[in-house]
Amino acid sequence: MRKTHSSTPPHLWVSGFNPVREVLLTGRVEVLEMIVARSDQRVRELVELGALRGIAPRQETRDGLSALVGHAHHQGVALRMREFPYAALEALLEKPTGEREPLVILDCLQDPQNLGAMLRSACFLGARGVIVPRDRSARVTSTVIRIAAGATAYLPVIQVNNLVRALEQLKECGLWIFGLDAQAAQTIYDADLTVPLGLVVGNEQKGLRPLVARACDAMVRIPEHGPLQSLNAATSGAIALAEVQRRRLMGK
């Protein structure tokens, strides 16, 4: 008999004081269960936040909680949730320009730690959303949520079937698309980053796919000043986005 697969979406775990707090405050994700393995003041405050949403905590040992979430860095509190709620590109495009950019577009990032780090940096640096392709890309998992340290509670993550088509839609709405490429002639310090824009960060090993690169309006690079010739993908995206915001604060 052929094995069938359940259509029930996988559950996600969010653990740690700050990630749990942000999920409870924003209310964007359906929480199925709160589990606590300590009873100090910080956890009691989280339990009170959960009570406001009708969530009663379940007590567990620290080892038991570690077994449930898959690691020991949970700080004694965790939430079990349904599948991550990706945002819709159409909803983003309907917003005024100032509320839909800058954007970060990730072309097939496959390392969950890179994705989590990029989401955290994008949220901190004021990105309005992160776009990822549905295929050949890391999904938002419990690991990604933990590394993002609360960013997924605030930052829309948009999953699209066709990344090139999504870039064309962004350009039709007035955004300029800048691709990060270590071989580009123009640096991020030379480009006009004050225009409405999206930054495209490529795969950890292969960079931008050719079709994605051709869909960009311009390619830019981060100039190196040391012996290494490349940066981690998430680090590159964070540096470029920080430069975007610096230039806007300076007005040029």
Q: What is the pLDDT of residue 250?
A: 87
Residue percentage of the chain with pLDDT more than 70: 96
pLDDT of residue 47: 95
Average model confidence (pLDDT) across the chain: 90
pLDDT at 252: 57
List pLDDT tens digits, range 36-94: 999 899 999 999 999 999 999 999 999 999 999 988 999 999 999 888 889 999 999 99
Strands 103-106 and 31-36: unpaired
- For residue 23, what are the contacts with CB-CB under 8 A and spacing of at least 6? 14, 29, 31, 79, 81, 150, 153
For residues 96-115, give the mean pLDDT: 92
- Give the tens place of pLDDT for each residue, 222-232: 998 888 777 88
Domains of the chain as residue ranges with CATH: 12-81 (3.30.1330.30), 89-250 (3.40.1280.10)
Residue 1 has pLDDT above 60, yes or no: no
| Predicted pLDDT of residue 5 | 40
Q: Read off the DSSP letter of residue 136.
A: S
For residues 15-30, average pLDDT: 88
Give tens-digit pLDDT for 172-221: 999 999 999 999 999 999 999 999 999 999 998 889 999 999 999 999 99
Q: Could you give the percent of the chain with pLDDT greater than 90?
A: 74
pTM: 0.86
Average pLDDT, integer, range 110-136: 95
- 179 touches 213 (CB < 8 A): yes
Who has greater pLDDT, 9 or 31?
31
Q: Which of 86, 97, 90 is nearest to 155 (CA)?
A: 86
**Nearest-angstrom CA–CA distance, 142 and 112:** 9
The dihedral of CA 184, 188, 189, 194: what is its sign? Answer: positive
CA 169 – CA 166 distance, rounded (Å): 5
pLDDT at 10: 58
Q: Which residues contact 119 (CB under 8 A, 6 or more apart)?
A: 130, 144, 147, 148, 151, 152, 155, 157
